[in-house]
A and B are shown apart, each in its own frame.
Chain A
Amino acid sequence: MNYEQLCAIAEAESGYLNDESIIKIYLASSAGNDAANHLCSAFQREIERQGASARVIRAGSYGYYGLEPIVVIERPDRPAFMYRNVTPDQAINLIRESPASSGAFCCLGGENIGGVPHVSELPLFRFQNRIALRNCGWVDPENINHYILRGHGYGGFAQALGLNPGKLAGELIRSTPRCRSGSGPYSPENWTKCRETEAIDKYLICHAADEDAGASTAQLLLGSDPHSVLEGMLISAYAVGASRGVLYVKEGFGRAAKIGRALEQMRKYNLLGDHILDSSFRCEIEVREVPESVTAGDGRAIFHTLHENQIAPYLSPTYPGIGEFRGKAVAITNAETMSGVSAWFPKGRASKVVTLQGSIAHPYRVEVPPDTSIRSLLEGIGIGEAGDQYIRAVLIGGPAGVFLSADSLDLPISYIADEAIGSNAASGFITVFDNGACMVEATKDAMSYITAQSCGKCFFCREGSRQICNILEDISDRRGKPGDLDLLMELGEEMRVACLCSFGKNASNPVLSSIRLFRGDYESKLGGVDS
């Protein structure tokens, strides 16, 4: 089966997506959203009652969690409208001939109809450049046809098969922004090394069990648009010469089973196995659950599961992905990069998925160009105009990231992934602390999360983060002792060297950066015992 034949089947099975004569209702929500389930049945009932020529498309989440369920209605006779926080009662009105604009969030065509803003007028959309997240909210994640029909899914891969793998690898490396992939193990430069290694077994590993549970971009992607990640894996596997792909997901919630069904659909379309799309390319992708014992750790740890049943934070003298790991060459990447690869192939446009959280009106997951400044992003999407007066600090790069004070907010988003600040690369996580926040408490909370996340295998990460937590708790309860701040700094600095994986090496980031920036907060809690 070649790509054209594949598209023909998809068209035959799910042609309603391109049928302009029917009403299409896109119902987007995170998985397991009860309100969305009720809403869906309300729509179905209403369609049946009215005998309307309509179709409900059950899509995944956009990442605008506060707005769910989100509904987009496309009708033959008028522009599409988007509605937020839709209730079953509303559903009836939406299908009826009531004014489409009533209660609409924005319109997707025309402009400013009935006082409803056009999508480009809303800051939430204006700032964004959705590439990796392009299909999120628009396709049924359980249906490969949706992925194929919307934006020529797997077309990029079909094209890639006609290219020289070496050239393709170079192209991918060039077009993948560092902030997307992260540095270190995930850096795309390693792909070339994997490609050039002479090993019989080559693996492409996609680590979709986010190190930082708070960011969980991978979970959004796998839940809303798994094929964008899987197509990216096929393209990358072809480029690095791997015939095996392994997708690591977190245990639980039937995640692995869902991906398993997606893989079955791919197999049906000749996208896995031998002679993929009638070419000589051969590739198998399997999904594995990251064992319970791994709650954190860097990508390197994941290699161990290829051989052993327990991930151990062993230090390797050279990074194994570069060359061989016990006879196997490995390239490692993450879900966001893979979804990006399938979208921007063959020409790259840069963007980065960012998660906004904390003292903020709209906790969203969005995708923006990397040169967007933190300040403009927050002012535009997160908190509005209050800006400098409102923000005391942000924690960037997830809980194991670093604190920035309000005067550093002009840094671009790409800076989050910069090694220089040592934050947890690529997590794209921004937590906002407002003017009333006590930075001792903020740091304590971050460290408490880290303590819980530490996998416990590396001594300094486990014990160090635990001690930092305990000392911060004491200071917070005004039970701090003389010398505590020096001790925190000494321990924190040692952890940066002593911990075995990148999570551990960064685990003391919050406390180190917070003491440097906000020493006054600590000293007032210590009540002079430390001066």
Chain B
Amino acid sequence: MVNLNIDGRQIETQEGRSILDAALSAGIYIPHLCHHPDLSSLGACRLCVVEVDGMKDLVASCTAQAEDGMKVVTRAERIGRARKLAMELMLAGHPAECGTCNKYLNCELQSLKQYLACEGIRFRRRTKPFPLVKDNPLFVHDFSRCVGCGRCVRACQELRGVGVLFYKKSKREGYIGTCGDLPLAESGCRFCGACADVCPTGAIMDKQELREGKSRKSALVPCTYSCPAEIDVPRYVRFIRLKDYSAAAAAIREKVPFPAVLGYVCRYPCEAACRRGQVNQPVSIRNLKRYAKRRLWEAGRRRHPLTGKKIAVIGAGPAGLTAAYYLTNRGHAVTVFESMPCAGGMMRYGIPEYRLPRSVLDGEIADLEAAGVLICTHTCIESTDWLFRKGYGAVLVAVGAHKGKRPRISGAECGGVFTGVDFLKNVNTGIRAHIGEKVVVLGGGNVALDCARVARRLGARQVRIACIESRAEVPADREQLEQAEAEGVGIDFSKSFTRVLERNKKCAGVEFLDVQSFSFDEDKNLQLEVVENSYQSVEADAVIFAIGQEPEIPEGFGVAVAANSRIETDDYSLRTSKEGVFAAGDAASGAGSLIEAIASGRKAAVAIDLFLEGDGNIEEQLAPIVEPDGYLGPGDGFASMSRCGEACVPPPLRWSNFSPVLKDMDEDAANRESSRCLQCDLRLGISTVRIWGNY
């Protein structure tokens, strides 16, 4: 240890640390700009100069080592003069107007300017002749704001080992650029964002549209924070890159009890948000998840001691099972009641088998049962009071939304007309529907596509989908749409159906009108503008309505139900109007995605555990915590690495059977795809500079 005196205070610090570090950690603020806690010190900006007893010149405290017996003064007239000179020099080439800068109030330079009370500038002011560059993905460069502190250069070189940023000069002015001034993507940049993170001014910034209205975390690691269950995507992708597949599987499993199912059918909001998508295409995250889940993860979970409390979950769908799993982990005795013969809910009775092999689902449910979740199938619960009487301390209603909507149009009730939910449930339980040769599906969501593709597999020769949305607006997943079209499903966009044509009380066709545009009014009622007299019709032996579904809540549950048939819940606690009864999943929020249902189940588990006087902490740690290696190395060709997307079985091999459509990736492809990840989470590990107001 080293003892030195700073401003009359005796300070102890470790050997080898700089005077600046010693002072800052003792709470003595010394202004500094080119210094960053994670980077090597440069001593270039001279804002951190101090007086050291016995030395003639002022020294930069960031590069001067603290030595035993040293006497340091951080405030003196001479020091102030030197700092001011440095600041004036810096500001002379920096835009005077702060208010218009996106870094305003977040700017270290601005804070230092205020700290040094630097108003008048004796030097010649000038504007650096560099344009605003928005052409690069993710980042905006404005080197007219650059003060040349070189933090980005050091971060790129020292922290990341990428080394594509250089000090450059043009027109007698310094700026930061790549070799040959190539665009970032061609320079070998890895788009890790370290440069933007350490920049003390507005010279290198994240694109405003990517940050606006978002917290730092959700803007910087959007994959994780766009995931309703907040799966730590960069972490498991990193495990895959390091070929530790079971750790990858475990990392996913920490947040969701259905990782393998998600690997097949997740609607991956993460990929839409993936920052790699700004560079070329997003990382194929779901594909990697499915790859990781082919490996077993070591069950290292820890079950809390039994609490002696009983919980009933009504409905063994994703929300119910998820909640049941986490509550079981918390030490509660959980029974899941399921009216159907098998557990799984929509995963089993909604999603067709070619999208989700049943063995995968069965495996994961078995896993939950092994963890202690008790599932009673064939059990229809009509009353929550009955459950309370049976000794359950809390009830979670997670019955899903299984009632298909039918429009109020002529012919909607005649023979050969189905709702999508019923149709799929029948097929999935082995009841053969008679659909004939020609099938028309009405609706533009994933369910409509499922119905059409199932109809195709059941032997219908001509399957058409009609929806009011245009191709660009259609809510179904792009991937599903492409697969359906490849299987010969015809899609008529921008059609409004006016009636089902009847012949002998059986449907014979559908009549359409072309849609000009549509919107929803304040009450979420559809407002259609159709092309007048654009009537047309197609023949149909069967018509399937896939225009939405809603929950069916028995009165005996005793909970308040909103006009849209959903259970009224408190957004935060998921409590219903009845004490001790909670609701989660589609029953509470209407038809949503699988991952939303899982996230809702997690939320319910927390709420119920808290209700039962637990601490509500359901977090598990199944994969090892590994400090990621931020040293990425040179990234030549990194930006152009193309996405290894989902590969499908060729269409002729799919439309006659229910075997899986998606092909699995091999190890090489998985490693390659995982190495495309920008590792945005590394940025959260970069220290934040504390400005003077924080001392």
Contact = CB atoms under 8 A, between A and B. Distances in A.
Contacts of B89: 459-460, 463-464, 467, 491
Given A293-B168, A459-B44, A459-B148, 7 more contacts: A308-B157, A314-B41, A459-B45, A459-B149, A474-B124, A483-B122, A494-B46
Q: Which of A312, A471, A491 has the most C-beta atoms of chain B within 10 angstroms of its own C-beta?
A: A312
Given A312-B150, A467-B92, A483-B122, A460 B65 contact: no
B683 to A, nearest CB: 22
B148 A462 contact: yes
A280 interface: no
A312 B153 contact: yes
Contact of B42 (A308, A315, A462, A490): A315
B58 A313 contact: no
Contacts of B157: 308, 310, 312
Nearest to A458: B44
A494 B88 CA distance: 13
B174 A462 contact: yes
19 contacts: A293-B167, A293-B168, A295-B169, A310-B157, A312-B153, A317-B65, A459-B44, A459-B46, A459-B148, A459-B149, A460-B44, A463-B93, A466-B93, A467-B89, A467-B92, A470-B124, A471-B123, A483-B122, A491-B85
Interface in B34-51: 34, 40-46
Contacts of A310: 153, 157, 163, 166-167
A463 B92 contact: yes
A381 to B, nearest CB: 35
A51 B354 CA distance: 93
Interface in A428-484: 451-452, 454-460, 462-464, 466-467, 470-471, 474, 483
Interface string A327-354: 0000000000000000000000000000
A490 B148 contact: no
B149 A466 contact: no
Given A314-B40, A456-B174, A494 B124 contact: no
Interface in B136-169: 147-150, 153-154, 157, 163, 166-169
A376 to B, nearest CB: 37
B86 interface: yes
* Interface size classification for chain A: 35 or more
Given A310-B163, A500-B42, A471 B174 contact: no
Interface residues of B, number: 39
A487 B124 CA distance: 11
Nearest to B174: A456
B63 interface: yes
A458 B82 CA distance: 16
Given A293-B167, A459-B46, A315 B63 contact: yes
A467 B172 CA distance: 11
A98 interface: no
B473 interface: no
B664 to A, nearest CB: 40
B46 A451 contact: no
Interface centre among B41, B86, B169 (most CB of A within 10 A): B169
Nearest to B63: A315
Nearest to A467: B123
Nearest to B81: A490
Interface in A486-510: 487, 490-491, 494, 497-498, 500
4 closest pairs, A vs B, by CB?
Answer: A456-B174, A470-B124, A459-B44, A497-B57
Contacts of B168: 293, 456
Interface in A34-59: none
Nearest to B154: A312
B42 A487 contact: no
Interface of B: 34, 40-46, 57-58, 60, 63, 65, 82, 85-86, 89-90, 92-93, 122-124, 126, 147-150, 153-154, 157, 163, 166-169, 172-174
Given A452-B172, A474-B124, A463 B46 contact: no
Contacts of A500: 42-44
B93 A471 contact: no
Nearest to B179: A292
A310 B82 CA distance: 29
A219 B169 CA distance: 24
A389 interface: no
Nearest to A466: B172
A309 interface: yes
Nearest to A456: B174
Given A312-B150, A463-B90, A463-B148, A456 B167 contact: yes
Contacts of B60: 315
Contacts of A455: 167, 169
Most chain A beta carbons < 10 A, residue from B41, B42, B58: B42
A277 to B, nearest CB: 40
Most buried by A among B82, B90, B174: B174
Contacts of B43: 315, 500
A215 to B, nearest CB: 21
Given A314-B42, A451-B172, A309 B163 contact: yes
A224 B140 CA distance: 49
B33 to A, nearest CB: 9
B434 to A, nearest CB: 72
A165 B236 CA distance: 58
Contacts of A452: 172
Contacts of A308: 157, 163
A474 B41 CA distance: 36
A141 B342 CA distance: 90
Contacts of B124: 467, 470-471, 474
B125 to A, nearest CB: 10
Contacts of A312: 42, 150, 153-154, 157
A470 B65 contact: no
B591 to A, nearest CB: 55
A459 B85 contact: no
Contacts of A491: 85, 89
B166 A498 contact: no
A38 B148 CA distance: 49
- Of A308, A309, A459, A491, chain B has the most CB atoms within 10 Å of the CB of A459
A490 B85 contact: yes
A190 B664 CA distance: 63
Contacts of A295: 169
B46 A498 contact: yes
Contacts of B169: 295, 454-456
A487 B122 contact: yes
Contacts of B85: 490-491, 494
Contacts of B172: 451-452, 466
A459 to B, nearest CB: 4
Contact of A460 (B58, B86, B92, B166): B86
Contact of B90 (A315, A457, A459, A474): A459
Contacts of A490: 85
B352 to A, nearest CB: 54
Contact of A459 (B34, B57, B154, B173): B34
A315 B61 CA distance: 12
A304 B122 CA distance: 36
Contacts of A464: 89
B249 to A, nearest CB: 39
A259 B455 CA distance: 76
B411 to A, nearest CB: 74
B88 to A, nearest CB: 9
Contacts of A460: 44, 46, 86, 89
A304 to B, nearest CB: 10
Nearest to A308: B157
B176 to A, nearest CB: 10
Nearest to A294: B167
Q: Which of A315, A451, A456 has the most CB of B within 10 A?
A: A456
Given A312-B153, A317-B65, A490-B85, A470 B57 contact: no
A353 B86 CA distance: 38
A470 B90 contact: no
Contacts of A457: 44, 148, 150, 167, 174
